[in-house]
Structure 1
């Protein structure tokens, strides 16, 4: 285990990188753009025995992979459709092409190093594109409903029951029949990438989980892990990264 933290309290704890997102904020009356991570990702990984490390998506960040024990790729803006050979849909928005390419390189490097990877929402979509897959750019065009990202005036999570592949890694992590997810996405897997296995689906057939075939722990989930009190995926990532079992 390679530590990048000198805090004695963090000694011996696996370091899990979290890909940063950028967002405009107003702080003390001043407008600025910040690099950030969802605090629950930080808190859940820390509670599971890891040291979270924020990774700004700048060229060369992949060189930090050999100082990590795991990687969390969170939700974020839509991916640049050029990455999977498509023209932008009218509602595809907030694209960050430069950051997309840096993040693809980072995730590829992490996978090649056999690091445990948990990819959430956009992260799962990026994992699919990395493996040559494509995306539905606006899921309601396919499903005929907005249940995956309810069209309400305020942020609302959609709720779906999952069908999981028996014996899959995700089935072992969640350990229940037809778990309920909390999601907020309008894009999803269309063409599945080579080297990925779909292991979870919503009732409408939307792919909700992919796993990198033959990798010890590389899972993509379409729901908003981190937006609820469910810590099971973060704890599974922590264990795969070398944290002691807290169960």
Structure 2
């Protein structure tokens, strides 16, 4: 009788396990579009919405969703998790979690994040207990596009005009596109040198550019006439300063 009981027990276990796993085909996971914003502290706030629809035969226990965000070099930036203790059969649960990371820390990794759009990667890991006793795991990758705040930054050719008997006014065209998800307020300073590395002049300007907008403007400086008359080429040193980042000097040649 013990042998028969043992056999019946294991048959029941197998049938239950198969039934529980088969029931998983009626469980649907929906990953919504990631929502990105900026906190008042200057951190990236990433919200990952997840919907679980359980039309299977059994309850789901300890549903855990973990998000890992990697940079372009596959280095982990941040991770975050959400736990739903139980999702009963017939239920639809909309949940999600926030993960935050520092814009300044990301920009300090590489100048690419200032001037180039870069694809980041978010990995979603799902863990749960089917029928409250059988562990199930799954994962999926989501691409996140980092938009550069100074995309395609460039200085145009210097434009000269008379100012007084000792100095010339030099206007330098500035152009770039703010591909970032945040508005940009930034101070741009430029130092102008001739080809022998002698400093000719210094200028600065403040820019405010809405997200996903282009900027075209002029930066003015005043250069002594004698030094300018002997200089037809050289380079600029450009520096940037904002509440989110500081960068420079970046060298751009002219002439």
Q: Which structure has the larger Rg over C-alpha atoms?
A: 2
Pairwise TM-score range, normalised by the shorter structure: under 0.3
Structure with the bigger percentage of helix: 1
Structure with the bigger percentage of strand: 2
Q: TM-score, normalised by structure 2?
A: 0.23
